[in-house]
């Protein structure tokens, strides 16, 4: 047998067919032998046998050759499984990988649509804030000499918006919940 020929589709098919046929032939011969041996031993009496002793003896001897038949049938099935596995794992693998790569590229292309939209949105946001820096607003503070956005009357109404907490220090719970009479 040429080992290089074994690693082709035709070579593997020929090998597994030969093995399968050999094992199936062996299995059928074992089955015929088991029948012959069992029938002959059932009819042969040995001195001192009781009722059904010959049948029990025939079954005990016959089951060994029936086991050989069973294993030959399994070996024939394994030969077919060898060919199927070779085709699946070796011959069809490049085509499956190519198909998987195409699907992966298709999914990637489908995902890039939302990514492009998100990138455009981020560009707009950056250009907006870059324009704010150009107008003089840096880190949320106005340059010296410009007035705040809130009127003086609103400073007392919205102290956090006007930066009043920086003048008084950090806020406490009492700033949010005024004291009532009778409570401390």
For residue 71, the enclosing domain spans 3-91
* pLDDT reported for residue 152: 47
Residue 52 inside a domain? The answer is yes
What is the mean pLDDT, run by run of 10 residues, along the chain of 184 residues?
Answer: 86 94 96 95 87 91 95 96 94 93 88 75 78 54 51 50 56 71 64
On whether both 13 and 74 belong to a single domain, the answer is yes
* pLDDT reported for residue 140: 52
E-assigned strand segments in the chain: none
Among residues 72, 91, 110, which one ends one of the domains? 91
* pLDDT reported for residue 163: 54
Query: What is the distance between the alpha carbons of residues 179 and 174, in angstroms, rounded to a whole number?
Result: 7
Residue 116 inside a domain? The answer is no
Q: Are 30 and 65 in contact (CB under 8 A)?
A: yes
Q: Who contacts 160 (Cβ-Cβ below 8 Å, separation ≥6)?
A: 171
On whether both 14 and 87 belong to a single domain, the answer is yes
Residue 155 inside a domain? The answer is yes
Among residues 76, 91, 106, which one ends one of the domains? 91
* pLDDT reported for residue 121: 81
């Amino acid at each position: 047998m040429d080992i290089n020929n074994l690693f082709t589709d035709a070579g593997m098919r020929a090998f597994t067919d030969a093995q399968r046929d050999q094992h199936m032939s062996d299995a059928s011969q074992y089955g015929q032998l088991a029948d012959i041996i069992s029938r002959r031993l059932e009819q042969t009496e040995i001195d001192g046998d009781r009722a059904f002793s010959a049948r029990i003896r025939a079954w005990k001897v016959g089951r060994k050759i029936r086991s050989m038949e069973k294993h030959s049938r399994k070996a024939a099935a394994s030969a077919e499984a060898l060919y199927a596995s070779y085709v699946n794992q070796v011959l069809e693998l490049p085509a499956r990988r190519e198909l998987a790569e195409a699907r992966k590229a298709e999914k990637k292309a489908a995902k890039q649509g939302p990514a492009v939209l998100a990138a455009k949105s981020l560009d707009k946001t950056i250009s907006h804030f870059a324009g704010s820096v150009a107008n003089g607003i840096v880190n949320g503070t106005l340059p010296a000499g410009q007035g705040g956005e809130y009127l003086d009357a609103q400073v007392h109404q919205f102290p956090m918006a006007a930066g009043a907490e920086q003048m008084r220090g950090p806020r406490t719970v009492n700033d949010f919940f005024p004291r009532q009479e009778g409570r401390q």
